Amino acid sequence: MEPIYEKTKQKEDRLLRISRMLFDYKNNILPPWQPLQRDPRTCCHHHLHEKIELLYFIEGTVIFRIDGVPYTCNPGDFLIVNPFEPHSGVTSPECDIVRYYAFNLDCNLLKKLPVTRLSELFDPLLSGSAAYPHTLPATDPTGKIIRAELEAILATVQTRNAELYQIASVCRIFAALGDPIVAPSGGGTRSADFVRRCILYIQSNDPRAVSLEAISRSFSYNKAYFTTLFRKHFGVPFTDFLNRYKIENAHALIRGGNRNLSEVAQRSGFNYYAYFFRKFKEVSGMTPGEYVTYCDRLEKK
Amino acid sequence: MEPIYEKTKQKEDRLLRISRMLFDYKNNILPPWQPLQRDPRTCCHHHLHEKIELLYFIEGTVIFRIDGVPYTCNPGDFLIVNPFEPHSGVTSPECDIVRYYAFNLDCNLLKKLPVTRLSELFDPLLSGSAAYPHTLPATDPTGKIIRAELEAILATVQTRNAELYQIASVCRIFAALGDPIVAPSGGGTRSADFVRRCILYIQSNDPRAVSLEAISRSFSYNKAYFTTLFRKHFGVPFTDFLNRYKIENAHALIRGGNRNLSEVAQRSGFNYYAYFFRKFKEVSGMTPGEYVTYCDRLEKK
């Protein structure tokens, strides 16, 4: 069974993933990774991941929260989300159209570039002992470089050698950013460490093998204690979090073109299709079949 | 014995090696990798290697020959030497000072960058079935990009994140160059293939194990036939070529700071110090000790 999971993982094995986020509320065009939310103004629900995310805002206003701190983002602004920082976003109710790009950078792949100092740069970031500032003033010279490189990536995205231009820009962004600064209290503490360890456990195991029992055991905690601790740090019960994580994997598989829904269910970590179906509807607001139609319709546009 | 050789090899494990070439004939300042030649105007003897070399000319005039074709290089010009292309250079007798930079790029390390199309780009280059043009007209837009990126590398060479800027520029150079063009007759022929296989054999084996017997055997040729073929393609007898190759390894070790000359002799592939000493003097025009003094003197400058 293992190889199936590995295969899905490999597909995402890219240094940089660019997502174009368009919210056209007038014509009801929302991104395919944005299934109907309870609140239509939510453009990115509360979540966290190992990748570094750069957000670059083109049109409209978005209010992003990183680690609880709100940032009002207007065209031309960018935001840096460090690994494992919980973040969420809502579009401003005054805006009919909101457009921004999310650049997700895989630090573990970045570390493999043939550059001597990269582990020195990214290890503190991954362990949470250091972080980049979330934003830089409009006049900051580093901010100008970052903006220019993000524009360069977008300008070359359709060219034959797009990936080479992307690596070039990513390297220049990190060269300009320099060393991350030592995180203030909160980073690298036991609390942040718990969050990190949970995410890494979930990401590095076959989703079908991840359970409350297994993860509690891996922490040497009893189930009740782990449950309380998890809810305290993540704001949601462990099972809810895990199901959302698995359903998001299913979304990615469907968006990637897989139309065999029972295979999607299995690959994303569900042993029973009926349970997958129920959870899919709960998380996405639509059934797997409706999501397929939704994606197909968007693709034709 | 193997690990010693491996250790020396790792030291050179860099994507890009930049050599500053300064020939100040007035003050007799010559590069440390340029031991006294029989002809003081030789700035780069006839040789070939697996790396791609970019030459960027700053001051004075150099006449380079690539695969027999001469190129007169003036300030602002650059030259591309494809893998395994034999090349040599002489400085113009009218110039008191000649200055240029040699950028050596390791294609095998380049191929490891997380970019999908890189093998497609570099494999034909390494096999000789395709090549980049040696030079581009001054008005060519790609030429302008290459010049700008080479300047960018030189401008950031002293900065903390120099390697990141270097990868960025290297990626942009290859993105601008695009696919190498199919080599005209000569490239990828059996003749070029023989040259390639010889170089690869010498580079990938412990130098102490490389001998006329061993390499002839690896080609399934008898010694006499191999000797004739080698001389025809390389212009020098195999033993001369091998000794020069080993002595150049010794130069690199000394320049890298190794002052234990018997260790240098062993690492560069000589079992007997007396023989090493004799060959060193023959190739370099000075004894190993004199070369150490020469390097130390240059370092202090």
Other beta carbons less than 10 A from residue B179's beta carbon: 15
Q: What is the pLDDT of residue A301?
A: 62
Distances (CA, A) of B236 to A102, B193, B231, B233, B277: 58, 18, 5, 8, 21
What is the residue whose two structure tokens read 């014509």? Answer: A27
Question: When comparing pLDDT for A241 and B46, which is higher?
Answer: A241
**Tokens describing residue A223:** 């189930």
> Smallest Cβ distance to B174: which of A114, A164, A175?
A164
Q: What is the pLDDT of residue B133?
A: 93
Partners of residue A163 in chain B, C-beta under 8 Å: 114-117
Phi, psi (degrees; rounded to nearest 5) at A186:
115, -50
**CB–CB of A56/A44 below 8 Å?**
no
Distances (CA, A) of A169 to A21, A154, A180, B81, B119: 21, 10, 18, 26, 21
Q: What percent of chain B has pLDDT over 90?
A: 40
Instruction: Please state, rounded to an integer, the average pLDDT across all residues of chain B.
Output: 84
Q: Is the pLDDT of residue B153 over 50?
A: yes
Cα separation, B9 vs A296, whole angstroms: 53
Q: What is the pLDDT of residue B282?
A: 86
> Contact B168/A164, CB-based, under 8 Å?
no
* DSSP codes, chain A: -HHHHHHHHHHT--SEEEEEEEEETTTTB--TT-PPPSSTTEEEEEE--SSEEEEEEEES-EEEEETTEEEEE-TT-EEEE-TT--EEEEE-TT-SEEEEEEEEE-HHHHTTSS-TTHHHHHHHHHHTSEE--S---TT-HHHHHHHHHHHHHHHHTTSTTHHHHHHHHHHHHHHHH-SPEEP-TTTTSHHHHHHHHHHHHHHHS-GGG--HHHHHHHTT--HHHHHHHHHHHHSS-HHHHHHHHHHHHHHHHHHTT---HHHHHHHTT-S-HHHHHHHHHHHHSS-HHHHHHHHHHHHH-
What's the CATH superfamily of A190-300? Answer: Homeodomain-like (1.10.10.60)
Q: Which of the four pLDDT bands, split at 50, 70 and 90, describes residue B33?
A: low
Selected for mutation to probe chain A from B165, B171, B174 (highest A CB count within 10 Å) is B171
DSSP letter assigned to residue B209: G
Selected for mutation to probe chain B from A166, A170, A171, A177 (highest B CB count within 10 Å) is A171
> Smallest Cβ distance to B175: which of A112, A161, A175?
A161
Q: What is the pLDDT of residue A34?
A: 60
Nearest CA in chain A to B165: A172
**CB–CB of A168/B172 below 8 Å?**
yes
Q: What is the pLDDT of residue A10?
A: 39
DSSP letter assigned to residue B180: P
Nearest-CA distance from A12 to chain B in Å? 12
- For residues B24-50, give the mean pLDDT: 76
Q: How many CB pairs under 8 A join A and B?
A: 75
Partners of residue A113 in chain B, C-beta under 8 Å: 113-114, 167
> Smallest Cβ distance to B114: which of A15, A156, A178?
A15
The domain segmentation of chain B, as residue ranges, is 2-182, 190-300
Residue-wise pLDDT tens digits, B86-129: 888 999 999 999 999 999 998 888 888 878 778 888 888 888 78
**CB–CB of A291/A284 below 8 Å?**
yes
- For residues B21-33, give the mean pLDDT: 83
Determine the residue type at A244. R
Partners of residue B116 in chain A, C-beta under 8 Å: 163
Nearest CA in chain A to B156: A175
Residue-wise pLDDT tens digits, B160-181: 889 999 999 999 999 999 888 8
> Contact A109/B112, CB-based, under 8 Å?
no
Q: What is the pLDDT of residue B10?
A: 39
Q: Is the pLDDT of residue B8 over 60?
A: no
> Contact B175/A164, CB-based, under 8 Å?
yes
> Contact A167/B163, CB-based, under 8 Å?
no
Taking the mean position of all CA atoms in its chain, how far away is CA B41? 18
> Contact B161/A117, CB-based, under 8 Å?
yes
Partners of residue A174 in chain B, C-beta under 8 Å: 161, 164
Residue-wise pLDDT tens digits, B182-193: 765 444 445 667
Nearest-CA distance from B176 to chain A in Å? 8
Q: What is the pLDDT of residue A155?
A: 95
Nearest-CA distance from B170 to chain A in Å? 8
Cα angle B158, B160, B164 (rounded to 5 degrees) comes to 95
- For residues B39-43, give the mean pLDDT: 82
Asked if CATH classification 2.40.50.140 holds for the domain at A2-182, the reply, yes or no, is: no
Nearest-CA distance from A273 to chain B in Å? 35
Taking the mean position of all CA atoms in its chain, how far away is CA A60? 21
Nearest CA in chain A to B13: A114
Nearest-CA distance from A169 to chain B in Å? 7
> Smallest Cβ distance to A167: which of B159, B167, B178?
B167
Cα separation, A176 vs A142, whole angstroms: 6
**Tokens describing residue A142:** 């580093």
**CB–CB of B133/B80 below 8 Å?**
yes
Selected for mutation to probe chain B from A51, A120, A172, A177 (highest B CB count within 10 Å) is A172
> Contact B168/A165, CB-based, under 8 Å?
no
> Smallest Cβ distance to B167: which of A113, A156, A178?
A113
SS3 B232: helix
Distances (CA, A) of A267 to A2, A272, A275, B176: 10, 11, 14, 40
> Contact B167/A169, CB-based, under 8 Å?
no
Nearest-CA distance from B199 to chain A in Å? 24
Half-sphere exposure for A122 (CA within 13 Å, toward CB): 21
> What is the maximal distance between C-alpha atoms in chain A?
55
Q: What is the pLDDT of residue A172?
A: 95
Q: Which residues contact B82 (CB under 8 A, 6 or more apart)?
A: B52, B125, B131, B132, B134, B180
Partners of residue A107 in chain B, C-beta under 8 Å: none
Partners of residue A171 in chain B, C-beta under 8 Å: 164-165, 167-168, 171
Phi, psi (degrees; rounded to nearest 5) at B155:
-75, -25
pLDDT average per 10 residues of sequence, chain A (301 residues): 32 77 87 63 82 96 90 96 87 94 90 81 84 90 95 92 92 92 56 78 85 92 91 84 87 86 92 93 87 80 62
Chain B residues within 8 Å of chain A (Cβ atoms): 13-15, 109, 112-117, 156, 159-161, 163-165, 167-169, 171-172, 174-175, 178
Q: What is the pLDDT of residue A37?
A: 57
Helix ranges, B84-237 (H) = 107-110, 118-127, 141-156, 162-177, 190-204, 212-218, 223-234
Q: What is the pLDDT of residue B35?
A: 54
Determine the residue type at B256. G
> Contact A115/B163, CB-based, under 8 Å?
yes
Q: Which of the four pLDDT bands, split at 50, 70 and 90, describes residue B32?
A: low
Q: Are strands B69-73 and B62-66 parallel, antiparallel or unpaired?
A: antiparallel
Nearest CA in chain B to A118: B164
